[in-house]
Structure 1
Amino acid sequence: MTVCVAVKVHDCIVFAADSASSLLDGSAGDGHPLIANVYAHGNKVFNLKKGLPIAAMTCGMGNIGPISISTLAKDLRDRFCSDDPDWSIDPQNYTMEDVIQKAKRFFFDEHYCGLDQPPQGPHEFQFWIAGNGAGQTHGEIWRIKIVDGECPEPTCLASEGDFDILYDGQPEAINRIVNGYSQFLPKALLDLGLEQQSLDSVLSHIESATYAQLISPAMPVQDAIALADYLVETTKGYVRFMPGADTVGGDTDICVVTKHEGFKWVRRKHYFDTTLNPAEN
Structure 2
Amino acid sequence: MTVCVGIAVNDCIVFAADSASSLVRTNPATGASEIINVYANGDKVFNLLKGHPICAMTCGMGNIGTASIATLVKELRRRLSSAEQGDWFVNPEAYTVEEIATKARRFLFEERYAALQPPPPAPHSFEFWVGGYSSDFDAGHEVWKVSIINGVCEAPVRELEGGFGWFAGGQPNAIVRLLLGYDQNLPQALTTAGMADAGVSATMGVIRAHSEVGIVMPTMPTQDAIDLAEFLVETTKRFVRFLPGADTVGGETDVAVVTKYEGFKWIRRKYFYPAALNPLETDHA
With the shorter chain as reference, the TM-score category is: over 0.9
Q: Which runs of 5+ in 1 are unaligned?
A: none
Q: Which runs of 5+ in 2 are unaligned?
A: none
Answer yes or no: is the 8 Å Cα contact 2:141–2:163 preserved in 1.
no
- Partner amino acid for 1:157? E
In structure 2, the partner of 1:216 is 217
- Give the TM-score of the pair, scaled to structure 2: 0.95
d(CA) in 2 for partners of 1:172 and 1:72? 28
Number of residues paired by the alignment? 280
CA offset digits 1:203-235 (Å, max 9, x no partner): 111011100111100000000000000000000
**Residue in structure 2 matched with residue 34 of structure 1 by the alignment:** 34
Report the residue type matching 1:147 in the other structure.
Answer: I
Alignment partners' CA distance in 2, 1:20 and 1:32 = 21
The 1-side partners of 2:196 and 2:148 are apart by 31
2:159 — aligned with what? 157
TM-superposition CA deviations, 1:171-195 (whole Å, max 9, x none): 1100001101100111222222221
Deviation for aligned residue 1:249: 0.2
What is the aligned partner in structure 2 of residue 145 from structure 1?
Answer: 147
Are the structure 2 counterparts of residues 167 and 30 from structure 1 closer, same or farther at C-alpha, using a change threshold of 3 Å?
farther
Q: In structure 1, what is the Cα distance between the partners aligned to 2:31 and 2:257?
A: 38
Distance 2:30 2:187 in 1: 21
Report the alpha carbon displacement of residue 30 of structure 1 after superposing the two structures with TM: 7.2
Instruction: Give the structure 2 partner of residue 67 of structure 1.
Output: 67
After TM superposition, give the deviation of residue 98 of structure 1 in Å: 0.8
Structure 1 residue aligned with 2:100: 99
TM-score (norm 1): 0.96
Contact 1:4-1:167 within 8 A present in 2 as well: yes
Indicate conservation of the 8 Å contact 1:28/1:34, yes or no. Answer: no
Q: CA RMSD in A?
A: 1.4
Shift of 1:35: 0.3
Identity %: 51
Does the 8 Å CA contact 1:225/1:256 hold for their aligned counterparts? Answer: yes
> Does the aligned pair in 1 maintain the 2:12–2:257 contact within 8 Å?
yes
The one-letter amino acid paired with 1:52 is H
2:4 is paired with a residue of what secondary structure?
strand
Letter aligned with residue 54 of structure 1: I
